[in-house]
Structure 1
Amino acid sequence: MLALSNTNQDLRCPGFCDCRFPSCIDVANHKGSIPDLVTCKCGEETGNGLQWQWHQEHDSDAHIVGRDIIFHPTYSQGTAIARGEQPLQHDKVHFWEMRVITALAGTDVMFGIGTDNVNLQQFKFHFVSALGTNAQSWGYSYNGKIQHCGDQLPYGQKFSQGCLVGIYLDRTRGHLEFYLNRRSLGIAYTNIPTDPHVKIYPMVCSTAAKSVIRLINSTSQSDTLQLRAFQALVKQPEKLDELRRMPGLKSIMQSYWFLAPPVRYSRCSTDQELDLGDEAVLPSSKIRLNRKQKYRDSDDVNIDEDLYANAHKIALRRPDSGDEEYAASIHEFCDEYFHYLL
């Protein structure tokens, strides 16, 4: 089992985009369906749609409306747990991503996985961090911690409304990894059962009244040499860029988009100088683990700022004189700089 410590975990992660989301007052006063208050589609035009959806459990306080889970639509008296409609196959890798529609508060809101032995009604009248309370589930909390067998460990930033939470499950290797706003947080657990007889489902739990989580994509891919080759290539951005220019490989790369997802950040999350329309290829979780370990003992270094922000501050404007040689040298410098960062 691996877990990352983050010196900046007390800072709440900004939303993925600048779209407006409903305030707590809007949600409290709205008489209709809460998801109707949201028009944001940022980040949803990726992947191959939904290969599974949520399962409506009888007599549950988690109501399923299409892609949305509406937890405790009237008031909360405990913890509601929702799971996917089908188990995740043992011989595949799985990725799914969820958008946090409402502000998160209360005891806990968690994202993760669990076996078919998880009792979805167990904490109906108790406010607890439900995912990871025992050996049957693994969870990632909005407070930035992960939990399994009742042990909570620091892992990433706190997050709330507007954020994208991604989960990458490799059932062939038993690895579980979480993403926040399309950035990998590193491998959280390496003890996920690979036994084909163990049924594992996507799960979300919440104690917060009128909290809404939306599934925006879900995909499963067979463990093939092609997938592993692409997984290795994402560690080399320059090679990946070459592949993107080959028309015959577009459909293949689209199938594995989650290994190098497009990034778009809110203007509230970084310095105003940044070009926020840029897309970046994410480094592998192993590289990010090493980077974070390097700065683990430093309290005055912002890891994400160190790795990403400076690269965007390099101006790529063509000189007024039209000097092509000068422009080429600038691009060469930028390529070298990005290669160093990634």
Structure 2
Amino acid sequence: MLPLPSTDQDLRCPGFCDCRFPSCVDVANHKGNIPDLVTCRCGEDSGNGLEWQWHHTENSDAQVIGRDIVFHPTYSQGTAIVRGEQPLQQDKVHFWEMRIITVLAGTDVMFGIGTDSVNLEQFKFHFVSALGTNAQSWGYSYNGKIQHCGDQLPYGQKFSQGCLVGIYLDRTRGHLEFFLNRRSLGVAYTNIPTDPHVKIYPMVCSTAAKSVIRLINSTSQAATLQLRAFESLAKQPQKLDELRQMPGLKRIMQSYWFLAPPVRYSRCSTNLDLDLCDEAVLSSSKLRLGRKQKYRETDDVNIDEDLYANAHKIPVRRNDSGDEEYVSSIHEFCDEYFHYLL
């Protein structure tokens, strides 16, 4: 018998945590504030601080309620675009993170940036992938594609409810990078204007009725030599762990938390709090569980090397009878591999 084809849901990135999120039926029937339906157990809603909020305009078909954006609260008749309340400074690097509260559907839901030339009302009565339609904006779609100047390119997995979308903008270099569930997807664009006279804002757009996005973190840091040094160490977990043991560096590392953000998989363990920013190890599209090569203490391995070189060394564990066995799932694989790294 031939295997059944994978569904679209199978291809989507799973949620970041196992917090309770509202179903489509809950959202459709709820008469109050939709974000109130979320029950957070992982603590991510507390965030790491906010340096800016969303900007509310009267003519927009989106409600801004504190950190939350409720797109098309009654019904959708086009695309609503919301931007941050202030431009992102040219001499800094910026990171912000958004949590997807509702199931995403429809033409498109996008996360990204745009200049002050973007007309937020342009597609109010049209269903389009608004961010990246021209040279004034750059967008990352929930369908796993990036867009700029109308050109869509494959970039990452599809994603929806419960996922965390992070954006890392280096305005000093003109680089734009996206994160999905605290995993870097790599630099998407290197053509972001570095001209201090060009105003660039965080932006989100959606065509989906009653779709909700929550801003949980936003920070900006000067592009100093210290920051560049931490960037270089971000993919060396052992070195980062050694730095965390030094009391004088703890406060500094907290300022650069987004370079090695905490990854919590509460489906596996509520106590799991790991620091890793490397999509090559964690991305389910790249894992090769069939490669049964086990790690031994006698192997000549330099764990200070880049993680890409060691991602294939999957350790084994012993079962109750004392026999060795290989891990059998993505989550178990991550647990075992993290024990090896840390």
Taking structure 1 as the reference length, the TM-score comes to 0.80
Q: Secondary structure at the match of 2:275?
A: coil
Asked whether 1:303 is paired with 2:301, we answer: no
Q: Is the 8 A contact 1:97 1:164 kept in 2?
A: yes
1:223 matched to which residue of 2? Answer: 223
TM-aligned CA distance change 1:313 to 1:190, over 3 Å: farther
TM-aligned CA distance change 1:20 to 1:334, over 3 Å: closer
1:30 matched to which residue of 2? Answer: 30
Letter of the structure 1 residue corresponding to residue 33 of structure 2: S
Alpha-carbon shift at residue 165 of structure 1 (Å): 0.4
Segments of 4+ moved more than 3 angstroms: 45-48, 274-277, 304-317, 333-337
Aligned-pair identity (%)? 77
1:258 matched to which residue of 2? Answer: 258
Of structures 1 and 2, the one with the larger relative CO (CA 8 A, separation 6+) is: 1
TM-aligned CA distance change 1:313 to 1:187, over 3 Å: farther
Q: Distance in 2 between matches of 1:216 and 1:56?
A: 17
Letter of the structure 2 residue corresponding to residue 19 of structure 1: C
Taking structure 2 as the reference length, the TM-score comes to 0.80
- Of residues 57-66 and 302-311 in structure 1, the stretch that sits farther from structure 2 once superposed is 302-311
Q: Distance in 1 between matches of 2:219 and 2:316?
A: 34
Q: Secondary structure at the match of 2:238?
A: helix
2:341 matched to which residue of 1? Answer: 338
Q: Secondary structure at the match of 1:153?
A: strand
1:56 matched to which residue of 2? Answer: 56
Q: Distance in 1 between matches of 2:338 and 2:53?
A: 41
Question: Which of 256, 261, 281 is matched with 2:275 structurally?
Answer: 281
Q: Distance in 2 between matches of 1:262 and 1:102?
A: 23
Q: Distance in 2 between matches of 1:248 and 1:90?
A: 29
Asked whether 1:95 is paired with 2:95, we answer: yes
1:192 matched to which residue of 2? Answer: 192
1:21 matched to which residue of 2? Answer: 21
Q: Distance in 2 between matches of 1:198 and 1:263?
A: 34
Give unpaired runs (5+ residues) of structure 1: 1-7, 268-273, 296-300, 320-332
TM-aligned CA distance change 1:315 to 1:34, over 3 Å: farther
Q: Distance in 2 between matches of 1:136 and 1:18?
A: 37
Q: Secondary structure at the match of 1:168?
A: strand
- Of residues 183-192 and 36-45 in structure 1, the stretch that sits farther from structure 2 once superposed is 36-45
Q: Is the 8 A contact 1:55 1:82 kept in 2?
A: yes
Measured against aligned partners, the alpha-carbon deviations of 1:60-90 in whole angstroms (never above 9, x if no partner) come to 0011000000000000000000000000000
Asked whether 1:114 is paired with 2:114, we answer: yes
Alpha-carbon shift at residue 171 of structure 1 (Å): 0.4
Letter of the structure 2 residue corresponding to residue 116 of structure 1: D
1:5 matched to which residue of 2? Answer: none
Q: Distance in 1 between matches of 2:250 and 2:155?
A: 34
Q: Distance in 2 between matches of 1:138 and 1:173?
A: 16
State the superposition RMSD in angstroms: 3.0
Letter of the structure 1 residue corresponding to residue 116 of structure 2: D
